[in-house]
Amino acid sequence: MNDQPPPYHSPYGQAPGAPPPPGYTPPPGYGSGPGGGYPYGGGPQPPWGYGYGPPGVPPNPQGPVRPDDTTWALMCYVLTIAVGFLAPLVLYFVKKNESPFVRHHAAQSLNVQLTYLLHIIIALAVGGVLAVVFQHPAPLVICLVPVLLFHMVAQWVLLILGAVRAHQGVANRFPTWLCFRMVR
């Protein structure tokens, strides 16, 4: 592996590692590290060379993932489709101290289920109050049916997307408006 920096020229025409031009003021946060901390010189380099990380490796904050962890994380989503919220709840409590990766995906699956339950309860409450006020069931149907239809589709999409990412060994997060982070 080549430990030399890429042949990019600095924005001021100096060779890489040269002192800054006269009158240059570094941006806040620079100037405290080895080599002066300037963006174009000095400091230790990562073992894989220059850039933002090793090529082809997605970031995973939990560290390396074992193959059986990906299987358990995948099962969190698949069993949610088959059984409901009980399967990820059991997997969360069984695996939460063994694997942060499985705990993350079980919590994501539980959060999807709890968010949908919360949305449906809110739509039921609003529609129920309006149905009582207007003394007609139409507001209940108008409030509840779109929420149910949306969540029927969104639940399948998110659970399948989570299962695919769990199988790939990637820690993912769903959008907050579709999945409140209640279980961490």
- Mean pLDDT for back-to-back runs of 10 residues, the chain (184 residues): 54 61 63 48 46 47 73 92 88 88 90 90 92 91 90 88 89 80 78
Query: What are the DSSP E strand ranges found in 37-138?
Result: none
Look at residue 183 in the predicted model and tell me its pLDDT.
Answer: 79
- Name the CA radius of gyration of the chain, rounded: 26
Regarding pTM above 0.85, the answer is no
Distance CA 60, CA 23 (A): 41
∠ CA 88-89-93, rounded to 5°: 110
State the burial class of residue 175 (Cβ atoms within 10 Å of its Cβ: 0-12, 13-18, 19+).
exposed
Closest CA to 157 of 102, 106, 81: 81
How much is the pLDDT for 181? 79
Q: If you search the block for the tokens 């030399």, which residue do you land on?
A: 4
Give residue 11's pLDDT.
Answer: 54
Beta-carbon contacts of 2 under 8 Å, excluding residues fewer than 6 positions away, are: 49
Q: From residue 99, how far is each of 96, 102, 158, 160 by CA, in Å? A: 6, 5, 22, 21
Q: What is the 3-state secondary structure (H, E, C) of 104-120?
A: HHHHHHHHHHHHHHHHH
- The residue type found at 67 is P
Give the model's pLDDT for residue 132. Answer: 93
> Quick one: pLDDT at residue 125?
93
pLDDT at residue 20 in the model: 66
Residues near 113 by beta carbon (within 8 Å), at least 6 away in sequence: 80, 84, 85, 88
Q: Is the dihedral angle over the CA atoms 97, 98, 100, 102 positive or is it negative?
A: negative
